[in-house]
Amino acid sequence: MTTPSLVRREWPLVLTLASFALFLRFGEAWAADLSRPAWFAFIFLWLIGVILLSVFAVVRHAEGLAGLLGEPLGTLVLTLSVTGIEVMIIAASMATPHGSPTLARDAMFAVVMIVLNGMVGLSLLLGGLRWHEQSYNLQGANAFLAMILPLAVLGLILPRFTETSPGPTFSPVQAGFLSFMSIGLYCVFLAVQNVIHRRYFVAVDDKGAQRPAAPARARTHSLAYHAALLVAYLLPMVLLSKQLAVPIDHGISVLGAPAALGGFLVAALVLSPESVSAVRAALANQLQRSVNLLLGSVLATIGLTIPGVLTIGLLTKKNIVLGLEVQDIVLLSLTLVLSTLTFSSRRTNVLLGAVHLLLFFAYLLLIFQR
């Protein structure tokens, strides 16, 4: 590929690098006074737009790697890339002087609500309207849920009831144990997904036999090409994520926005391209890919973000609040139970999607109306 054609195809990288250079030089001065609404909106929308373009580009190259590596390893690359972006934004926000101690909790909870209710609901609803019923590999979905349920309860509900440390937090020993357990279980899951029981995560027909994979789209780039550009997009996002944390903190503290809105914005930003991929797969009657993408992103978020933010909190001596409020505990518990019921049969339909979407709208309401 020639340089001009590469620039035309990867123009978001040019914009990302230019924004990176400008904010590296002038970012501190630009963020010093966000009291003017027009200036605040300009900086916020600029950063959101550039990061969103970068996220879509990261997912595009992750999907290129997915096509070259095959399933389920390809989907794993995609979910890990998205989770890495989320951890970067949360860590950058925590590093600011006024970073919210609940941002990590709110972002992880938002991921669970957006994915398990919003995107699962939309995928099942649209897929059901087009195909009436869709099938997937039940063993794979059960493997995901067997990991998600205990990690979600231990990471987001249990801290509300512990007494060793003040508030809905973990003591250093508890945080270390949960981090070690989360990473260990996730490594075991990766071995199951990619080596031991790989067949659990590929599509099957009604008789339980594996279905042939959908024909791959033509790809003209190498593994090294996609991997290099994926990293090139990710690195500038570290600074841009830190810059984005400033207007988010300003909007929450000065404009009186709900604290949970910050977590929702972070989750919606990083999940947007992956969600589009999952819905497209459901519309194409490739529900197995949707299940791998959606449940995989929730598992990666909980299994990797919790140890990540707890480690950052221990190193920076910052208080990390993980325990959810009572209303959110009710919603999370209901979501986990409903997800278990939804993925208890090999076939899905419109009704299941509608129920999940109802819970998602309840979550949105409770952000603003407690």
Q: pLDDT digits over 140-150, tens only?
A: 999 999 999 99
| Residue 262, token pair as written in the block | 């910050």
Domain count for the chain:
1
| Residue ranges of the chain whose pLDDT lies below 50 | 212-218
Cα separation of 269 and 316, whole Å? 26
Q: pLDDT at position 96, please? A: 65
Residue 267 has a pLDDT of 87
Q: Which residues of 304-332 are buried (b: 16+ CB within 10 A; e: fewer)?
A: bbbbbbbebbeeeeeebbbbbbeebbebb
The CATH number of the domain where 299 resides is what? 1.20.1420.30
Q: What is the 3-state secondary structure (H, E, C) of the chain?
A: CCHHHHHHHCHHHHHHHHHHHHHHHHHHHHCCCCCCHHHHHHHHHHHHHHHHHHHHHHHHHHHHHHHHHCCCHHHHHHHHHHHHHHHHHHHHHHCCCCCCCCHHHHHHHHHHHHHHHHHHHHHHHHHHHHHCCEECCHHHHHHHHHHHHHHHHHHHHHHHCCCCCCCCCCCHHHHHHHHHHHHHHHHHHHHHHHHHCHHHHCCECCCCCECCCCCCCCCCCCHHHHHHHHHHHHHHHHHHHHHHHHHHHHHHHCCCCCCHHHHHHHHHHHHHHHHHHHHHHHHCCCHHHHHHHHHHHHHHHHHHHHHHHHHHHHHHCCCCCCCCCHHHHHHHHHHHHHHHHHCCCCEECHHHHHHHHHHHHHHHHHHHCC
Contacts of residue 210, defined as CB under 8 A and 6 or more positions apart, other chains included, come to 199, 202, 203, 204
The predicted pLDDT at position 209 comes to 54
CA distance 284 to 205: 16
Q: CB within 8 A of 299, min separation 6: which ones?
A: 79, 144, 147, 148, 151, 186, 189
pLDDT in tens, 194-228: 888 888 888 866 555 555 444 444 455 778 888 88
Measured CA to CA in angstroms, residue 185 lies from 144, 230, 283, 357 at distances of 11, 27, 32, 30
- What is the spatial distance between Cα 224 and Cα 1, in angstroms, rounded to a whole number? 14
What pLDDT shows up at residue 324? 94
Report the predicted TM-score, pTM, of the whole model to 2 decimal places. 0.86
Res 218: pLDDT: 41
Q: Looking at residue 95, what is its pLDDT?
A: 66
8 Å CB contact between 122 and 357: yes
Q: Compute CA distances 133 → 176, 206, 313, 347, whole Å.
A: 44, 12, 45, 6
Range of the domain at 120: 3-368
What is the model's pLDDT at position 340?
Answer: 95
Of 75, 57, 72, give the one whose Cα is nearest residue 201. 72
* pLDDT (0 to 100) of residue 75: 65
